[in-house]
Amino acid sequence: MEQEQRRPGISVFFPAYNDGGTIGSMVVAVIKTLEELTDDYEVIVVENGSTDYTVTVLEELAQRFERFRYYSYREPLGYGGALRAGFAACTKDLIFYTDGDAQYDPRELKLLLPALNDDVDIVNGWKIDRSDPLHRKIIGRVYHHTVKFLFGFKLRDVDCDFRLIRRRVFDTIDLESDSGTICLELVKKLQDAGYRFAEVPVHHYHRTYGKSQFFNFPRLWRTGVQLIGLWWKLVIRRDHMRRIKVRRKQQELPVER
């Protein structure tokens, strides 16, 4: 019984955009996984302006599973907006998220949880092998090395959206990005705040439904512009460090009784 009480509370959320062909299996798979790990869990989908049948699938899931809920936004939030909404909706001590396109297997959450010991705040996956077309692999590697140099990242795979995070870290950091650069903002601010990472290898699979929203030239151009703006804010101006220091100091103050 004592061991059972120590099982963690876990929130899982998936951002979803035109993922009707995959989101159902993602939700069912993670619920079965969570039932093995804990009695205290919730599963959330942040639906982000889909034009396929994603919402219909989510409605059916909500009728079937008591601990599942979804938020549907007819006006797209952007990937960053969807992540911020997901983090805000989570109520448990641990938050796990990955994308709703099934390029990662949510059952591999079981690989991340053992790495979250008392000295670790975030467990970040790293792709064993990227299962994408050659041109996407090349662009991905260039992007990875560029942002690692610009932002001073220490992680092996910053661009792996397969993360287990202690919810308390969001008492210290704020996220602002609406685009895919939110992943860089998240890792940079967590790193600058002194939170500790562990890294675990996970599998990456071919996309079986829909298409990537990132790998087209107009979006790559916009991402480049946003990347420069984020670099200026986080590396040059570093305004976030003042907020982090203030909140860290507030957390250290004794509680009045």
Q: Are 60 and 159 in contact (CB under 8 A)?
A: no
Domain residue limits, the chain? 7-250
* Selected residue with higher pLDDT from 12 and 137: 12
Is the predicted pLDDT of residue 216 greater than 60, yes or no?
Answer: no
Query: What pLDDT does 223 receive?
Result: 76
Query: What pLDDT does 222 receive?
Result: 78
Q: What is the pLDDT of residues 144-200, one digit of tens each?
A: 778 888 999 989 899 899 999 999 999 999 999 998 899 999 999 999 999 999 999
82: which 2 tokens?
Answer: 């969807």
Going by their DSSP bridges, the two strands 162-166 and 94-98 should be labelled as antiparallel
3-state secondary structure 65-92: CCCEEEEEECCCCHHHHHHHHHHHHCCC
Q: What is the pLDDT of residues 40-66, one digit of tens each?
A: 999 999 999 999 999 999 999 999 999
Query: What pLDDT does 206 receive?
Result: 83
Query: What pLDDT does 143 receive?
Result: 76
CATH of 7-250, one of 3.40.50.620, 3.20.20.30, 3.90.550.10, 2.60.120.1140: 3.90.550.10
Is the predicted pLDDT of residue 106 greater than 70, yes or no?
Answer: yes
- Residue/partner pairs of 59-65 with CB below 8 Å, 24 or more apart: 60/24, 61/24, 61/27, 61/28, 65/27, 65/31
| CA 6 from centroid of its chain's CA atoms | 24
- The reply to whether the predicted model has a pTM over 0.85 is yes
pLDDT band at 256 (very low <50, low <70, confident <90, very high): very low
Burial class of residue 38 in the structure, from the number of CB atoms within 10 Å of its CB (0-12 exposed, 13-18 middle, 19+ buried): middle
Burial class of residue 122 in the structure, from the number of CB atoms within 10 Å of its CB (0-12 exposed, 13-18 middle, 19+ buried): buried
Q: Which residues contact 121 (CB under 8 A, 6 or more apart)?
A: 165, 166, 169, 190, 195, 196, 197
Mean pLDDT of the chain: 89
pLDDT band at 80 (very low <50, low <70, confident <90, very high): very high
The candidate with the shortest Cα–Cα distance to 208, out of 83, 25, 43, is 25
CA distances from 81 to 28, 75, 156, 249 (A): 24, 11, 25, 28
pLDDT above 90 as % of the chain: 70
Span of 22-31, 87-96, 120-129, 204-213 with lowest mean pLDDT: 204-213
